[in-house]
Amino acid sequence: MKIELHLIQNFAPSCLNRDDTNSPKDCVFGGVRRARISSQCIKRAIREWWRKNDHEKLVGKRTVRLVEDLADSVAAATGAERSHAIAAAGALVKATLVKKMKLDKKTGKTLTSYMVILSDRERAALADFLIQNWKELAKDAAKAAKSAKPEVEAEDESDSPDEAEDKEAKEDKTPLGKAMKKLKASAAIGEVGISADIAMFGRMLADYVTRNVDAACQVAHAVSTNKVEMEMDFFTAVDDLKADDEDAGAGMMGVIGYNSACFYRYAVVDWGQLVKNLGQNEEAAEECLKEFVLALSSALPTGKQNTFANHQPCDFILASVRHKGAPLSLANAFVQHLKPTHNKDLIQTSVDAMKAYYDKVHAVYGDQWDLDGPFYCGMTQPSPNGDGWENVGSLSALVAKVLGVVREKTS
């Protein structure tokens, strides 16, 4: 069972998601330049929306500073010297998550070689493991901390695969490595549970594939239904302390790229995968799905918001629950870039194009499908009619409708 969401959202001049040149991200689609918001940006906005709306428990922490974080907890709880705690935390992380560390030359901090995302419960389980076993680890951690050769490599150094394997084998034979294996460190995380964002968007750990999580949700890059041209805002800033008898020039000046676009957005959630990721807990999966739909519809990227204040809500939201057939993106409704007409604005034109394309696809493939819906809500209604689509009125009613279908089909 898959839950599909299609959204139309129009933005006034904005720069919500920037590229490496500090300009709004874009792409070519249908042979013309379109505005774009990356899926990574959308997922980040969802995570931040959860945090700001008292759903911190739904969000994990992504970091390369896990060793330092665990060491802080161990030192605070046991009174251990921080260097000893760093050595033990580093050995634990190598035994459970990331095999390779690096040393930040500027800060002297021990960092994992790539970003790791863990739920708060997972991070707490790792810290508790070290704290509860500190008596057995303390002596070997002290020896490791005083070792002439650091257990981490400089930030700019790299090993060949063979060298890395040899180094790993040697570290496993150190007293601290042996102690960690003896205590079965890999069980430190156990089944404490991942966070909702990990369940939704997945996790990859190259060194320990058993801790990988297949994403239950796919999020498409948002793409504008209309053709866009890059525009530039030239600005100046006045030096308030410059004397009147000096030159009349500004204290600084610059340019900001921006555009204005109506976006088509799409996401699909695999219910079975979500339930599996959350330990077969359907109640937790329902909460996760509910908060995801609310966040997807409400969360906005933060790029240049202080400059443009782009707080425009979604104009139209369409949802369906698919029991059979491949997921369906409606992006091809906009292969021909849209323009407003004398009696239809760009939002209305976009909604109508989406409805027309859906009907065409349904006529060809509909007998292969088994779905509930579509259901929709929004300030804009499909015209000339919305035959086959059910207007539920509000976002909360749309969420309730989707959850009701899911409960009915899984009961």
The 3 state secondary structure assigned to 130-164 is: HHHCHHHHHHHHHHHHHCCCCCCEECCCCCCHHHH
pLDDT value at residue 159: 54
Backbone angles phi and psi of 145, in degrees to 5: -65, -30
User: What are the Cα distances from residue 352, in Å, to 54, 191, 315, 339, 348?
Assistant: 36, 47, 13, 12, 6
pTM, entire model = 0.88
pLDDT(337) > 80:
yes
**Percent of the chain's residues with pLDDT above 70:** 92
The Cα–Cα gap between 274 and 216 comes to 5
Q: Average pLDDT over the chain, rounded to whole?
A: 88
Residue 97's CB: how many other CB atoms inside 10 A?
A: 22
User: 48-93 pLDDT, tens per residue?
Assistant: 999 999 888 899 999 999 999 999 999 999 999 999 999 999 999 9
For CA atoms 350, 352, 355, 360, the dihedral sign is negative
pLDDT value at residue 140: 87
User: 265-297 pLDDT, tens per residue?
Assistant: 999 999 999 999 999 999 999 999 999 999 999
pLDDT band, residue 253 (cuts 50/70/90):
confident
What is the per-residue burial (b if ≥16 Cβ within 10 Å, else e) of 65-80? Answer: bbbbbbbbbbbeebeb
101-103 and 153-154 as β-strands: parallel, antiparallel, unpaired?
A: parallel
pLDDT value at residue 292: 96
Of residues 336 and 192, more confidence is placed in 336
pLDDT value at residue 246: 78
pLDDT value at residue 151: 45
**CA angle at residue 316 from 283 to 318, to 5 degrees?**
45
* Mean pLDDT score, 204-228: 94
pLDDT band, residue 168 (cuts 50/70/90):
low
Tokens of 352: 């109508």
pLDDT band, residue 166 (cuts 50/70/90):
low
Q: Which amino acid is at 168?
A: E
2-14 and 316-324 as β-strands: parallel, antiparallel, unpaired?
A: antiparallel
DSSP category for residue 29: E
User: 254-271 pLDDT, tens per residue?
Assistant: 888 889 999 999 999 999
Return the bridge partners of 36, or none.
Answer: 223
User: 127-162 pLDDT, tens per residue?
Assistant: 999 999 999 899 889 988 887 354 455 444 555 555
The Cα–Cα gap between 175 and 141 comes to 8
Tokens of 275: 């339930």
The Cα–Cα gap between 344 and 265 comes to 21
Residues composing the chain? 411
pLDDT value at residue 221: 97
pLDDT value at residue 231: 87
